[in-house]
């Protein structure tokens, strides 16, 4: 998954979820996390905003996901409330009441209706939220809303993340500046469809609601659905894109000359945030692009990429800086894809390691040097068709185990 | 996967691959492994023997697997030659020539035909065998064949295993003693269909060839296909069962009164060896039985069991002695099975942790104590039907990463 260059849009230095006009945010500490770290965020649009969202495909959905899915059926929204430190998942009807109450507190604090709010939670599964604390937290955050507080919000949604994840870009539509910016969290339980991740993106673009939905689905497919840290797909995954139209341009529809630019930029922003999540993967020491080419079908290419990206043996060999392509060959073989051993080629950053399913003449020392780099690409060519797929993944380290074995 | 008690058959203390009458074995060192450990084994029947075998489902099959599959199409066999320290996989036509040569050396040393031999290899993928050493090794092993050398052979097939895996049982057919015994290797790259494992079982039973094949397929399905250490299925997996008929009983066919006993005992022997592999899993500290009940179908039950047994997050929580059932709920949700969150019950060794998809009243301290034991059972009841499946798996530790990251 390589982010293609985008010439027509400019990266905003220090940009994030409040870079677009007409959005404010806040991030506060309300006592959900034990050590007083920030744990509650608000992102609010000054005006009612069109919104598109995608949610986890996990059948066990957290209460806030259920409530947000329902609120998405309504018209325009006002904003999103997010807490970290507790997933509010597997909490039964009580948990649903809690999630609903969070939207009610937002509505009360910011003169709106509960169904105009989405709600997200992230943290440990199976525990109830401390609602009196959450209520105070929402009131506090509402009083601190500011267009400059994007980074505070990005901080408040972190769990095992070691750093904030923010990114924004600006481009022109009908001669006016349009901005797309966002924040994300996620570093473990990361896998396609989707990561344990939350992502909120805001834009001042004016865009047709259906067109926005299509753009978001497509962008998610090419960003958050193409990363894998540990192969677990969580109960709380949510991507929210709010487009409030404050830029004042004509409404973007598929035939608008800058529509493609909007879509490309949105995808680019999501890919950047997705890459930040992988680079912040729990305990990782390598970020690896697994690119599969020449598969009999796109589906086969995906099977192969996932098998390699999920193999504990392949991932631990990267940790050790060992170009153990035999384990990759092995993963190809059980991936379920049509693979003819004698046709396979494997490259490490363009350096050939396997030809016709057998070792190449590349000295092992050169491959070893490569696998010790913090980032590299493994290209697998199956020579069986034109199917392609790529995924961004990581190694599997002792540190990952250490992080996840504790409570 | 619990081994049911088998009253009619007796465990042979110290029994193994040469416990059955008319089998000899040897295990020698020939220099494939760098430090002079044993690395070549022979298991030979005194008389031509019926044989059934199952091989890896991986599409990338090692050369010895290809050669053995071919030799299985012939009539009776004489024995098996196995080397450790080199998988002879991804070695092209040269590798196939090497595997064939191994059967030729056996034939020459033991007055037989090459196609009367099966060949197995285990070790690192992508390297050629040092054939002059292998040749000498086979000659040496042939000169040391003895009914008492079963343990030597079991030692010679080890790779990352920390201990030999041998087991044998005896029962009566038509008033005569019949023995089934075997050896196995495997501790990493272990996953259904099948583990990175080799297993050779010998029996002096006289059994109809087709009936033997059915028994073996069924026994493998209920033993080696129900264990998972790291979710990788290797290029070299092989289970071989030789039945030489030396016990002199009537030929066992499906209508023979002791046929079921034979089948049960064979399954029992394989389950024992499979459990030994899991207990010797690379770096593990917990052996966990994951039993799924009440799934909408057997297929659904299997999906759930595999999702739980493969989840890095579930496995690392066991390592830390953390009864983090939330991660199990999460795995159920993305398993692909039909799961209704509010119906799910989860038990740790019979102690209820989750009722109706929510935490039970069992004190967390009691669950924690349980998850710190080296062995426990997690029972997941979906209350959606009558589908059942169980799998034996392990935790995922820092030590596993350490073992597999090096060359």
pLDDT at B77 over 90: yes
pLDDT, mean of residues A336-347: 94
CA distance A234 to B167: 42
Q: Over the stretch A277-294, which tens digit does the pLDDT of each residue have? A: 889 888 889 999 999 999
CB contact under 8 A, B235 and A330: yes
Give residue B196's pLDDT.
Answer: 66
Comparing alpha-carbon positions, the chain A residue that sits nearest to B126 is A326
Give residue A193's pLDDT.
Answer: 44
Closest CA to A21 of A47, A3, A59: A47
Higher per-residue pLDDT: B235 or A94: A94
pLDDT at B254 over 50: yes
CA distance A353 to chain B (A): 11
Contacts of residue A351, Cβ cutoff 8 Å, sequence gap at least 6 = A362, A366, A367, A370
pLDDT at A256 over 60: yes
Give residue A21's pLDDT.
Answer: 97
CB contact under 8 A, B59 and A332: yes
Question: How close are the terminal C-alpha atoms of chain B, in Å?
Answer: 33
CB contact under 8 A, B402 and A400: no
Range list of H helices, A186-297: 209-221, 259-279
Torsion sign, CA atoms B24, B29, B31, B37: positive
pLDDT, mean of residues B100-111: 98
Active site residues of A: 196
Q: Which of residues 290-319 of A touch B (CB under 8 A)?
A: 310-313, 316-317, 319
Q: Over the stretch B374-404, which tens digit does the pLDDT of each residue have? A: 999 999 999 999 999 999 999 998 888 888 8
Taking the model in full, what pTM does it have?
0.84
Give residue B195's pLDDT.
Answer: 41
Is the Cβ of B111 closer than 8 Å to some Cβ of chain A? no
pLDDT, mean of residues A52-64: 91
pLDDT at B278 over 70: yes
pLDDT at B194 over 70: no
CA distance A289 to A271: 13
Q: In what order do the strands lie in the sheet with A358-359?
A: A227-228, A387-394, A287-295, A375-381, A345-348, A351-355, A358-359
CA distance A288 to A1: 9
pLDDT at B133 over 90: yes
CA distance A23 to chain B (A): 33
Reported ipTM? 0.80
CA distance A391 to A308: 10
pLDDT at B51 over 90: yes
Query: For chain A, what is the largest distance between any 2 Cα atoms, rounded to a whole number of angstroms?
Result: 70
pLDDT at A192 over 50: no
Is the Cβ of B217 closer than 8 Å to some Cβ of chain A? no
pLDDT, mean of residues B355-383: 95
**Candidates A310, A316, A339; nearest CB to B405:** A316
- CB contacts of B407 in chain A (<8 Å) are 320, 322, 324
CATH class of domain segment(s) A287-405: alpha beta
Give residue A113's pLDDT.
Answer: 96
Coil, helix or strand at residue A237: coil
Q: What is the number of CB-based contacts under 8 A between chain A and chain B? A: 197
What whole-number percentage of chain A has pLDDT above 90?
79
- Cβ–Cβ under 8 Å, residues A47 and A246: yes
Poorest-confidence range of A17-26, A145-154, A277-286, B286-295? A277-286
- CB contacts of A188 in chain B (<8 Å) are 313
- CB contacts of A352 in chain B (<8 Å) are none
Comparing alpha-carbon positions, the chain A residue that sits nearest to B399 is A398
pLDDT at B190 over 80: no
Poorest-confidence range of A213-227, B127-141, B156-170, B223-237? B223-237
Determine how many CB atoms are found less than 10 A away from the CB of residue B210.
12
pLDDT, mean of residues A393-401: 89
Determine how many CB atoms are found less than 10 A away from the CB of residue A246.
21
* Separation in Å, CA A158 to CA A179, A185, A313, B212, B230: 24, 6, 29, 58, 30
CA distance B91 to chain A (A): 6
Comparing alpha-carbon positions, the chain B residue that sits nearest to A61 is B333
pLDDT, mean of residues B96-105: 98
Mean residue pLDDT of chain B comes to 92
Is the Cβ of B66 closer than 8 Å to some Cβ of chain A? no
B233 confidence band (pLDDT: 50, 70, 90): low
pLDDT at A232 over 80: no
Is the Cβ of A362 closer than 8 Å to some Cβ of chain B? no
Coil, helix or strand at residue A177: strand
CA distance A98 to A103: 9
Give residue B193's pLDDT.
Answer: 44
Percentages of chain B per state (helix, strand, coil), in multiples of 5? 35, 25, 40
CB contact under 8 A, B325 and A189: no
pLDDT, mean of residues B101-106: 98
Give residue A191's pLDDT.
Answer: 53
CA distance A1 to A9: 19
pLDDT at B86 over 70: yes
A195 confidence band (pLDDT: 50, 70, 90): very low
Poorest-confidence range of A46-60, A258-272, B194-208? B194-208
Is the Cβ of A363 closer than 8 Å to some Cβ of chain B? no
| Bridge-based pairing state of the strands A77-84 and A117-122 | parallel
Closest CA to B357 of B338, B375, B382: B382
Active site residues of B: 196
Give residue A234's pLDDT.
Answer: 67
Q: Over the stretch A108-117, which tens digit does the pLDDT of each residue have? A: 999 999 999 9
- Cβ–Cβ under 8 Å, residues B293 and B301: yes
Is the Cβ of B353 closer than 8 Å to some Cβ of chain A? no
Q: Over the stretch A302-331, which tens digit does the pLDDT of each residue have? A: 999 999 998 888 999 999 999 999 999 989
Closest CA to A366 of A347, A343, A382: A347
What whole-number percentage of chain B has pLDDT above 90?
79
Give residue A196's pLDDT.
Answer: 66
∠ CA A34-A184-A393, rounded to 5°? 105
CA distance B365 to chain A (A): 13
Q: Over the stretch B11-41, which tens digit does the pLDDT of each residue have? A: 999 999 999 999 999 999 999 998 999 999 9
Give residue B153's pLDDT.
Answer: 98
CB contact under 8 A, B89 and A404: no
**Fold classified for B10-279:** 3.60.70
Mean residue pLDDT of chain A comes to 92
pLDDT at B285 over 50: yes
pLDDT, mean of residues A251-264: 93
Give residue B192's pLDDT.
Answer: 46
């Amino acid at each position: 998954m390589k982010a293609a260059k985008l010439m027509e849009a400019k990266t905003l230095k220090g940009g994030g979820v409040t870079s677009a006009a007409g959005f404010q945010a806040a991030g506060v500490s309300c006592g959900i996390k034990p050590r007083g770290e920030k744990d509650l965020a608000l992102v609010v649009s000054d005006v009612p905003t069109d919104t598109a969202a995608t949610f986890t495909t996990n059948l066990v959905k957290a209460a806030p996901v259920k409530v947000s899915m329902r609120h998405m059926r309504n018209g325009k929204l006002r904003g999103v409330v997010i807490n970290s430190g507790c997933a509010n998942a597997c909490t039964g009807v009580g948990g649903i009441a809690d999630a609903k109450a969070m939207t009610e507190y937002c509505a009360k604090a910011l003169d709106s209706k509960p169904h105009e709010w989405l709600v997200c939670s992230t943290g440990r599964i199976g525990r109830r939220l401390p609602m009196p604390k959450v209520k105070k937290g929402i009131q506090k955050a509402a009083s601190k809303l500011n267009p400059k507080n994007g980074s505070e919000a990005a901080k408040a949604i972190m769990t095992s993340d070691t750093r904030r994840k923010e990114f924004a870009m600006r481009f022109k539509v009908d001669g006016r500046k349009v901005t797309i910016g966002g924040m994300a969290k996620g570093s473990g339980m990361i896998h396609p469809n989707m990561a344990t991740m939350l992502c909120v993106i805001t834009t001042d673009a004016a865009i047709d609601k259906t067109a926005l939905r299509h753009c978001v689905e497509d962008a998610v497919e090419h960003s958050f659905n193409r990363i894998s840290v540990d192969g677990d797909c969580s109960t709380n995954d949510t991507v929210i894109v709010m487009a409030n139209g404050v830029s004042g341009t004509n409404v973007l529809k598929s035939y608008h000359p800058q529509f493609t630019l909007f879509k490309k930029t949105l995808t680019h922003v999501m890919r950047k945030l997705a890459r930040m999540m992988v680079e912040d993967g729990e305990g990782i020491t390598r970020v690896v692009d697994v690119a599969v080419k020449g598969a009999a079908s796109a589906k086969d290419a995906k099977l192969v990429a996932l098998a390699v990206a999920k193999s504990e043996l392949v991932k631990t060999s990267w940790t050790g800086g060992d170009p153990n392509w035999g384990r990759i060959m092995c993963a190809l073989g059980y991936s379920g894809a049509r693979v003819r051993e004698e046709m396979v080629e494997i490259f490490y950053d363009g350096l050939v390691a396997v030809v016709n399913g057998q070792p190449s003449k590349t000295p092992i020392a050169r491959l070893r040097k490569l696998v010790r780099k913090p980032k590299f690409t493994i290209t697998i060519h199956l020579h069986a068709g034109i199917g392609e797929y790529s995924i961004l993944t990581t190694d599997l380290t002792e540190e990952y185990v250490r992080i996840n074995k504790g409570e």
